[in-house]
Structure 1
Amino acid sequence: MSRGGRIPEVRGGAAGDRGESLVERRGFWANHLLALCGDGACAERADPEWFGGDGADVDALAEILFDPENWPVFRVPVPDGHLGPGVVVVYRNLVDEPGVDYLLDGQDMGSMLSWQELVRVADCPEPSAEGVQDVSGRFLLLLPLLGGAWSEEVVRGRIVAALVAVGAPEDTVGRAADHLLGHLERRTLHDSAWGSPLSGG
């Protein structure tokens, strides 16, 4: 994620200025979720195949997702007015400062969704709006925003179910979920003094 501030320009993605169709491609979730596991804190390195797709699939999607000439944009629309039209996920493919930005009204959200908020957004698609509507895809797309305290059993179960739904192999999905959960738990806990985009704070 970025260091904060307004993104000066949001350029188009591989799907007619939008990148939503990429979430259906094999290799997408390995690219998106392995970025969360890049702190080098694990003894075992995550295998991209845990998330569905083989190495060729992952490499092919990486060329699209991280192309400096095309910044894929993923919209997560919600019917709730607190988030306006919803969250926008942008692959910020700057050569000197690449990353993934989670935007609300053009501003970087940072890591600021509690477990309850994440589920609320994921489970409330807006079929009349353009963007990612699949509940499992919405959940996994926004999972890196998770902050605060949570029940490990509940979160792990939801991650496993979502990964299976998007095509992760059932025989390794538990390892993938444990890996993601370990990295989420090592991050700084959500500061209760922060304002929440869903509470109007």
Structure 2
Amino acid sequence: MLIKGNDDGPLVAGELLLARPGFWSNYLLAMCSDGACAERPVPEWFGDDGADADALGEVLFDPEHWPVFRVPAEDGPGAVVIYRNLVGDYGTDYLLTHPGRTYAQQIASWEGDFSGIGLTWHELIHVADNPSSTAEGVQDTSARLLLVLPLLTDPDLPEAAPGRLTAALTVVGAPQNTASVTAEHLLAHLTRRSRHDPTWKSPLSGS
């Protein structure tokens, strides 16, 4: 599998992994630490258990296979998430794809912490809610939102944001009685580390 602009590793389509137990805790658990909660985040917050998380972690971080999750959009830029499994240099890269371009633009990465350019909540929702009907990739809007969620760098969230995130977590298997708390922890962490400057040009503009 090749993604133009990022063909240095053994990329493989990862979309089928989204339905595997342990995926969402691997992907989002580290972002549940908001600095104010004494409770340690656990895979059960996402409906997983430790064994599931460990087993899928071996798949996600395999140096010989770098899972790629495509989030193509019908109207405007889409996103690509790549597990960069270089030995000694593991990380998750976030790229944008733009209509009419032949390459993907890396805008951020996660290596124990976030670095790069993020998006506002409304920009994330635009990507999540506009799946492409023709391109290969993730179609479910809840999974799409959760995949691009680490790009959130917006301290001014709308009132509907926690509810929307709670609903998305429930759709992918988080327990209904704890999904809202998990959403609160995620948003607290993401907005606390936020560095979004309203004067910056959005990477969705193609600039």
Equivalent of residue 57 in structure 2, options 62, 68, 76: 62
Query: Do residues 172 (structure 1) and 167 (structure 2) align?
Result: no
Query: Do residues 126 (structure 1) and 132 (structure 2) align?
Result: yes
Asked whether the 8 Å contact 2:72–2:79 carries over to 1, the reply is: yes
Task: Describe the SS at the equivalent of 1:93.
Answer: strand
Shift of residue 40, structure 1, vs aligned partner:
6.4
Q: For residues 135 and 105 of structure 2, what CA distance do their matches in structure 1 show? A: 21
Equivalent of residue 189 in structure 1, options 192, 195, 198: 195
Structure with the largest fraction of strand: 2
- Runs of 4+ aligned residues of structure 1 deviating over 4 Å after TM superposition are 38-42
- In 2 relative to 1, CA 108–38 (structure 1 residues): closer, same or farther, beyond 3 Å? farther
Asked whether the 8 Å contact 2:33–2:185 carries over to 1, the reply is: no
Q: Percent identity?
A: 58
Q: In structure 2, list runs of 5 or more residues that go unmatched.
A: 97-102, 109-116
Q: In structure 1, list runs of 5 or more residues that go unmatched.
A: 1-5
Q: For residues 8 and 117 of structure 1, what CA distance do their matches in structure 2 show? A: 27
- In 2 relative to 1, CA 10–127 (structure 1 residues): closer, same or farther, beyond 3 Å? farther
Q: For residues 148 and 201 of structure 2, what CA distance do their matches in structure 1 show? A: 18
The residue number in structure 2 matching 1:89 is 81
Aligned length: 189
Matched letter for residue 135 of structure 1 = T
Shift of residue 55, structure 1, vs aligned partner:
1.2
Equivalent of residue 43 in structure 1, options 27, 35, 38: 38
Q: TM-score, normalised by structure 2?
A: 0.83
Equivalent of residue 106 in structure 2, options 88, 108, 123: 108
Query: Do residues 98 (structure 1) and 90 (structure 2) align?
Result: yes
Q: TM-score, normalised by structure 1?
A: 0.85
Asked whether the 8 Å contact 2:33–2:186 carries over to 1, the reply is: no
Q: For residues 40 and 66 of structure 1, what CA distance do their matches in structure 2 show? A: 26
